Amino acid sequence: MASSKEYLDFIIGQLSELEGITYRKMMGEYIIYFRGKIVGGIYDDRLLVKPVKSAVDFMPNAVYELPYEGAKEMLLVAEVDDRNFLTGLFNAMNDELPAPKKKK
């Protein structure tokens, strides 16, 4: 099942206080970037983020879910209605995520 543009718009709106939030549509789902780094994505109208240490520490009770069959598990963000929680999570993850790859 593909994710809806309405759900993407809601999540992007919740993150509107952060500079550098972008997304890319990929096979009916959306990859979310923060300052050029992949943070996670929207899969089947669920916000999932990479399970880096800072995200696990920020959400110690988060559930691990598969974005799609054959993928690595990611953390489900259940608190999508809490704008402050989301911005805090993305800010916490920013320093730990690898820098974007340079194009050749």
Binned at pLDDT 50, 70 and 90, residue 44 comes out as very high
pLDDT tens, residue by residue, 2-28? 899 999 999 999 999 999 999 999 988
**How many CB atoms are closer than 10 A to CB 35?**
15
Question: What pLDDT sits at residue 1?
Answer: 66
| Tokens describing residue 40 | 């996670």
Give the mean pLDDT of 54-64.
Answer: 95
Percent residues over pLDDT 70 in the chain: 96
Q: Which CATH class is domain 5-94?
A: alpha beta
The domain limits of the chain are 5-94
